[in-house]
């Protein structure tokens, strides 16, 4: 919406004054500025445009009829007016208009205190001392005989070029627009993940009236290739929410809307900063918000949440020509086979009871097969649900979900049990081996990050009793960092690590040396130690004080989960995590860190730890990246 305050306009030269014609309003214009430009008055404009009920509410793309000028326009050396906007000062206004501050003050004797002006106040601009060459008006010169401005040419639309293998998400809307978003990124650089997230947010998953009536998926205002439509819309101005009628672009097809969306960022110079960060989708989303794409103060957070919940950056990797993403598991038919396990990808609107009914199993059986589900009422889009075999009785043993196959033919297969032996392997061979774990067990986001050259962390867990090493834990697991370098080389760092708690933190253990930690999951009065479940977890850098180790060069000393993580707990306090633990599933908040441990003590109540020297190597291998996908796999 065009704001009606805070825009300075210089009257157009008399030779450029149009009479009895039309003007297409541009962002930031005001009625008073338009009146000055065409040598008329605001009252005359209002009389000629009865559709304007409030002179303070005009919007970009609206068409105004310009009445015939009754008097000659001021000369280019003449004065004008400026409507004060928030943050303006007289000195700023004087500098922007090339006027000496003392002359500006003398021309506005109604201002008693030059240091106190307020938004909406009208400032008279005296004529410049030196004549300036005539400047044509910013708005395009309308043809007098035209009753309306000509429609813009349709954007160049590419809706047929193949984009390669695109993973099916199970969400019909995302699946229907992914190809257009990928083509847009390849043509312009605008990240496909941001494009899809904006389409979801702006169009209400394609259900908005604007999308249905005008093929406008992004809420872009103005006149489009197919004309325009007027809609009521919410705006947040100066921290206050208001609803106004605005004119929005109309398109002939969805593909045309996507093409114009990307060009919108290229054509508008205020998005230049964002266009320098097209390789970082989350930064790009923040920059377009900062540049004024939306007035909602939560716009960046909304986009980021959608991008994470639906693993949208996987489409960025495809657009950049990374390793082709594999299709997500095909949704099972209503009556799945009685043998073998299946996986269901949660979609918006899914419930655990609905999924159980779809596959002919019980909710209890689903929960037993998915220990990471602490609350059956809290599942989220994109979550993977293992479907047990058997009938709804749920009495049959629950098999593990069938692992996904490596994406590339001939890729190495992860060993079925135990840590892999990599002595004598080259870095490339190690990379291919560890990447096969990511491809088989990691999320789509982890696979996309690895394909895009981002560092991914792999944890290989060997199950160990919490009583090991006198209750101090054992470094018998392995953490690996993987990254494809821009020069084509493969970076692999193998580290001796621990991924499980030690009984020194156990509530009630006779050999305990530390304060008890955990959660009383089964309400027996004892805190239960927990460990992260297998799967993919997102981590970020943080600093939680010197007790977790000295700060690294960037000022942080741990990696912290970005969201509360699912864990399983040793509720019977026998030192192992298995089906004998009743009510064992819960969430651990964000305290399952990566942090430094001791030389002979893992110092872990469930965190991922390494000796100090290994932790230093681990931190160095992370580079400058801030967030990481961590794929944890139990191998023995």
CA dist 114 and 579 (Å) reads 76
Higher pLDDT, 1 or 589: 589
Query: Which domains does the chain carry?
Result: 8-125 (3.10.350.10), 172-319 (1.10.530.10), 334-402 (3.10.350.10), 427-634 (no CATH)
Rounded mean pLDDT of 356-361?
79
pLDDT tens for 64-105 read 888 864 433 333 344 577 777 766 777 778 777 778 777 787
CA dist 115 and 99 (Å) reads 17
What three-state secondary structure class fits 494? Answer: strand
Six-digit token string for 345: 């990808």
Six-digit token string for 311: 């693993």
What are the beta bridge partners of residue 478?
Answer: 460, 496
CB 216 within 8 A of CB 250: yes
Quickly tell me which residue has 């160049």 as its tokens.
156
All residues at 6 or more sequence positions from 329 whose CB lies less than 8 Å from its CB, including other chains: 342, 343, 344, 345, 404
Residue 414: pLDDT above 80?
A: no
CB 453 within 8 A of CB 484: yes
Residue 586: pLDDT above 50?
A: yes
Give the DSSP letter of residue 478.
E
Residue 440: name the closest of 526, 326, 523, 573 by CA: 326
CB 123 within 8 A of CB 81: yes
Q: What is the pLDDT at residue 149?
A: 42
Q: CB-hemisphere CA count at 13 Å for 557?
A: 12
Enumerate the H helices of 191-312 as residue ranges: 192-203, 209-214, 254-267, 272-275, 281-290, 299-309
Most confident range, picked from 10-24, 348-362, 422-436: 422-436
Enumerate the H helices of 107-208 as residue ranges: 172-188, 192-203
CA dist 443 and 420 (Å) reads 21
All residues at 6 or more sequence positions from 227 whose CB lies less than 8 Å from its CB, including other chains: 151, 250
CA dist 261 and 266 (Å) reads 9
Q: What is the pLDDT at residue 395?
A: 34
All residues at 6 or more sequence positions from 43 whose CB lies less than 8 Å from its CB, including other chains: none
DSSP string, 45-64: HHHH-TT-S-TT---TT-EE
Lowest-confidence pick of 340-344, 366-370, 502-506: 340-344
Range list of β-strands (E), 502-564: 530-532, 535-542, 558-561
Q: What is the pTM of this model?
A: 0.41
Higher pLDDT, 615 or 367: 615
Residue 128: pLDDT above 60?
A: no
Tell me whether strands 608-611 and 594-597 are parallel, antiparallel or unpaired.
parallel
């Amino acid at each position: 919406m065009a704001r009606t305050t805070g825009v300075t306009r210089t009257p157009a030269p008399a030779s450029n004054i149009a009479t009895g014609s039309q003007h297409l309003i541009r962002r930031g214009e005001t009625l008073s500025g338009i009146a000055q430009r065409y040598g008329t008055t605001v009252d005359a404009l209002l009389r000629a445009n009865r559709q304007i009920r409030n002179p303070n509410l005009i919007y970009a793309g609206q068409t105004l009829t310009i009445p015939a000028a009754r008097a000659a326009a001021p000369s280019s050396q003449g004065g004008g007016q400026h409507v004060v906007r928030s943050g303006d000062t007289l000195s700023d206004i004087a500098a922007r208009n090339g006027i000496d501050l003392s002359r500006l003050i003398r021309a506005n004797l109604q201002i008693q205190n030059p240091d106190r002006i307020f938004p909406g106040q009208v400032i008279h601009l005296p004529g410049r001392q030196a004549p300036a060459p005539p400047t044509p008006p910013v708005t395009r010169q309308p043809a007098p005989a035209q009753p309306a401005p000509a429609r813009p040419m349709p954007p160049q639309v590419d809706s047929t070029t193949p984009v390669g293998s695109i993973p099916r998400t199970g969400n019909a809307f995302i699946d229907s627009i992914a190809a257009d978003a990928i083509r847009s990124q390849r043509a312009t650089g605008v990240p496909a993940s941001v494009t899809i997230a904006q389409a979801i947010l702006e169009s209400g998953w394609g259900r908005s009236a604007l999308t249905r009536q005008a093929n406008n998926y992004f809420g872009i205002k103005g006149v489009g290739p197919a004309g325009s439509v007027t809609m009521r819309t919410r705006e947040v101005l100066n921290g206050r929410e208001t609803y106004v009628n605005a004119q929005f672009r109309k398109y002939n097809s969805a593909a045309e809307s996507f093409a114009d969306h990307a060009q919108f960022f290229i054509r508008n110079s205020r998005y230049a900063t964002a266009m320098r960060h097209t390789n970082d989708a989350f930064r790009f989303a923040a920059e377009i918000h900062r540049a004024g794409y939306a007035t909602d103060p939560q716009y960046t957070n909304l986009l980021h949440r959608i991008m994470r919940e639906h693993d949208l950056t996987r489409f960025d990797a495809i657009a950049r020509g990374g390793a082709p993403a594999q299709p997500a598991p095909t949704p099972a038919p209503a009556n799945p086979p009685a043998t073998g396990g299946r996986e269901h990808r949660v979609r918006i609107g899914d419930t655990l009871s609905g999924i159980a009914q779809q596959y002919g199993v019980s909710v209890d059986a689903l929960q037993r097969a998915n220990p990471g589900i602490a609350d059956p009422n809290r599942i989220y889009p994109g979550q993977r649900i293992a479907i047990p075999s058997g009938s709804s009785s749920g009495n049959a043993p629950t098999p593990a979900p069938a692992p996904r196959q490596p994406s590339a033919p001939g890729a190495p297969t992860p060993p079925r049990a135990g840590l892999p032996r990599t002595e004598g392997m080259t870095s490339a061979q190690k990379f291919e081996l560890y990447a096969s774990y990511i491809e088989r067990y990691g999320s789509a986001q982890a696979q996309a990050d690895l394909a895009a050259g981002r560092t991914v962390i792999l944890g290989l867990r060997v199950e160990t009793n919490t009583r090991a090493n006198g209750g101090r834990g054992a470094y018998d697991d392995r953490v690996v960092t993987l990254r494809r370098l821009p020069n084509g080389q493969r970076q692999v760092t193998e580290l001796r690590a621990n991924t499980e708690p030690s009984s020194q933190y156990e509530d009630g253990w006779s050999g305990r040396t530390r304060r008890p930690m955990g959660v009383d999951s089964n309400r027996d009065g004892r805190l239960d130690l927990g460990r992260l479940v297998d799967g993919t977890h997102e981590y970020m850098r943080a600093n939680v004080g010197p007790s977790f180790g000295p700060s690294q060069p960037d000022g942080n000393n741990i990696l912290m989960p970005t969201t509360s993580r699912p864990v399983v707990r040793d509720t019977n306090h026998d030192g192992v995590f298995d089906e004998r633990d009743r009510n064992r599933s819960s969430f651990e908040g964000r305290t399952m860190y990566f942090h430094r441990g001791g030389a002979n003590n893992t110092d872990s109540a469930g965190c991922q730890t390494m000796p100090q020297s290994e932790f230093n190597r681990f931190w160095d291998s992370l580079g400058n990246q801030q967030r990481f996908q961590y794929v944890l796999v139990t191998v023995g």
